[in-house]
Amino acid sequence: MQRGPIPLKIIKTERLLIRPVRVGDASLMHTAMKDSFQDLKEWMPWAQSLASLRDTEVYLAHGERIWNSPAHDGVEQPLQIMDPTDRIYYGATGIKPANLSIPSFEIGYWVNQAYAKQGIITEAMNALTRYLFQVLKAKRVEINCEQDNKNSANVALRLNYDLEGTLRNHRFNANGKKLTNSLIYSCIDISRLPPLAYHSV
């Protein structure tokens, strides 16, 4: 893969739009994080206290700079998951290059709890996985989650990702007080993904 900026403006499915973050997302994103705080706090180390609106703006400004810079291993390129009108905030994801010389990527996600249990994250990760293989020519896409995070693991299972293994004593839980395990799921063949129509620009 060429070591320039990742070429992505938008990914669309019939009911979703996935795009790079913008500073103008701050109010929508902050409201979604506030509404989803209890769930996020359970699983996300970065959500142990609620970010302020200003913190969210700073994060999004940094995200904009990342999208305008060459991709680097280990540096996540943050994305928003929106409705097709780009007005309803469904959640967030990102593209994290693991090894650009392969290339391989890791993806993660969280959902606005107001829109949970609707298959939105599964659909978004299906589209994003397809984009990574078909546009960025990925050879591997990985989902890494805490063993007890059943909702996150179920996304990988619904997409027919393979469970490669359990890494024991691999991470602390979100609040940093308990040593726990990681589940490693991977996709190397998008023919096993559930059918989905999408397009990207």
Domain ranges of the chain: 11-143
Task: Say what the pLDDT of residue 1 is.
Answer: 54
Q: What is the 3-state secondary structure (H, E, C) of 4-54?
A: CCCCCCCEECCCCEEEECCHHHHHHHHHHHHHCHHHHHHHCHHHCCCCCHH
Task: Per residue of the chain (201 residues), give pLDDT as tens.
Answer: 556 889 999 999 999 999 999 999 999 999 999 999 999 999 999 999 999 999 999 999 999 999 999 999 999 999 999 999 999 999 999 999 999 999 999 999 999 999 999 999 999 999 999 999 999 999 999 999 999 999 999 999 999 999 999 999 999 999 999 999 999 999 999 999 999 999 999
Give the orientation angle of helix 26-35 with respect to helix 53-67, to 10 degrees: 120
Which homologous superfamily does the CATH classification assign to the domain defined by 11-143?
Answer: Gcn5-related N-acetyltransferase (GNAT) (3.40.630.30)
Quote the pTM value: 0.96
Q: Amino acid identity of 48?
A: Q
**Cα distance between residue 20 and residue 110, in whole Å:** 15
Task: Say what the pLDDT of residue 159 is.
Answer: 98
Burial of residue 37 (number of CB atoms within 10 Å: 0-12, 13-18, 19+)? middle
